Amino acid sequence: MAKIIPFKAVRPARDKVALVPSRSYDEYTPAELASQLDYNPFSFLHVLNPAYVNQLKISTATRFKAVRTRYEEFKDEQVLQKETQPVFYLYEIQSRSRIFTGIIAGTAIDDYKNNVIKKHEDTLPYRVEYFKDYLHQTGFNTEPVLVTYPEDTDLESWITAKKHKRPLYLFSSLNRDKHTLWRIKDEEDIRWLQEKFEAMESLYIADGHHRSASAEMLYEEDKPSGNENLNYFMSFLISENDLKIYEYNRIIHDLNGLSKEQFLKALSSDFTIENKGQQLWKPEAKFQFGMYLDGEFYALYLKETSFNSVFEALDAQILYEKVLHPLLGITDLRNDSRIEYIPGSKPVTVIKQMVDEGEYEVGFTLFPASIEEIKHLADNNLIMPPKSTYIEPKIRSGLVVYEI
pLDDT single digits (tens) 147-165: 999 999 999 999 999 999 9
Average pLDDT of every residue of the chain? 94
Write the pLDDT tens digit of every residue in 13-44.
999 999 999 988 778 888 888 888 889 999 99
pLDDT range class, residue 220, cuts 50, 70, 90: very high
8 A C-beta contact, residue 120 and residue 383: yes
Looking at residue 51, its pLDDT comes to 67
pLDDT score of 334 more than 60: yes
- What is the pTM assigned to this prediction? 0.92
pLDDT range class, residue 85, cuts 50, 70, 90: very high
pLDDT range class, residue 228, cuts 50, 70, 90: very high
How far apart are alpha carbons 184 and 181 in whole angstroms? 10
Q: What is the DSSP letter of 74?
A: H
Pick from 25, 7, 239, 207: nearest CA to 134:
25
pLDDT score of 171 more than 70: yes
4-242+392-403: CATH topology is 3.90.1530
- What is the pairing mode between strands 88-94 and 296-302? unpaired
Second-level CATH architecture of 245-368 = 2-Layer Sandwich (3.30)
Residue ranges of the chain that CATH labels 3.90.1530.10: 4-242+392-403
Q: What is the DSSP letter of 55?
A: T
pLDDT score of 350 more than 70: yes
Residue ranges of the chain that CATH labels 3.30.1760: 245-368
How far apart are alpha carbons 80 and 8 in whole angstroms? 13
C-alpha neighbours within 13 Å on the C-beta side of residue 355: 24
pLDDT score of 5 more than 90: yes
Write the pLDDT tens digit of every residue in 189-205.
999 999 999 999 999 99
Q: What is the DSSP letter of 396?
A: P
How far apart are alpha carbons 319 and 351 in whole angstroms? 17
